[in-house]
Every structure is written in C-alpha cells, then in structure tokens.
Structure 1
C-alpha cells in the first residue's frame, strides 16, 4: 500500500467536528454532519478522521495540483512501512498505542 508523500506541515483544520465543518462547503458540510449523525458510536472516530482528511485537502491551496497529479498517477507516494518507520524514528506514537 502506498500513500501520498507530503512534507508534514501544521494542520489547517482543527481535529474537531466544528473545525472540520467550518472547512467544508455547504453541501459537503451537510454530508459530513449527516454521516457523523448516523454513525454508530464505535465508528464516529473513523467518520471524523475521514472527513478531517477531506477538509484538509479542501483547505490546501495546492488542492487542484494534488488532485490532478493523483488522477494522472504522478503523485509521489511512499509505502505505509516507510511512514511507520519514519514515525518511530521521530518518536511519534504508532496507531493503536
């Protein structure tokens, strides 16, 4: 599995339901609230995480370039193993920890 290779930078969107909603456009904001409202308690965090990623992309000034590169298959990627290795090396918490 490969994921986009981006330089880490500060989040533009707070990792809260209100932060996510504020970063989304009207129709997408309503879809977010609808999905969050219908999610079982055990899945609410997954919904928040997915929509936070969407909101981060929406708030990225390079959104159009990133989407075009992804569609063209030219978006640089790294393996998940490399991401986890780099996280360990930098002292970051691992998923599930």
Structure 2
C-alpha cells in the first residue's frame, strides 16, 4: 500500500472518531481540517471535502453544505465501523479497546 493510501485511510478514521466525540456527532469541514493537521495530515479544505464525499458515498457520514464549508454528521454505518462491528474498506480499522 502506498504512503498516500495509508494517509487517506488514517484521515478517514480520524474524521469518524472526531465526529463520534461530539455531543451532536457533527463538525464542519474546517474544524475537521484543523483536527487532521493536529495529526500531521495537513491538507486543503477541498481535500477534506473529497474525503467527506467519499465517506458519504460509503454511508459512514452525511454531509450538508453550509456556505463555503460542509457539515459532516456521523451515520450509523460509521459508528459501527468505530465499534469494530463492520469494516469499511478504505478506512483504517480502529484499534481494539484495551
């Protein structure tokens, strides 16, 4: 697997985890861009939009355009991936809980 593919898969997992941490399970693409940067994945907002679109196609999130950003909300399929009940190909598998 290429380094870029590893980065993409990890970024998608980080996005799902960040959404799951919120009381309403939603964040804007700009906040998600900043969250990814804190994990040394520095990309433009357009790249984040592309990842959100991909996750939406996989039914892991829903995406709502709001002005120049998009608001992503965790969907049940994304939550199931985080709980390790299913595996979404193209999203890094979460670690087993301790």
TM range (shorter): under 0.3
> Max radius of gyration: which structure?
1
TM-score for the superposition, normalised by structure 1: 0.27
Higher helix share: 1
Higher strand share: 2
Bigger RCO (CA 8 Å, 6+ sep): 1
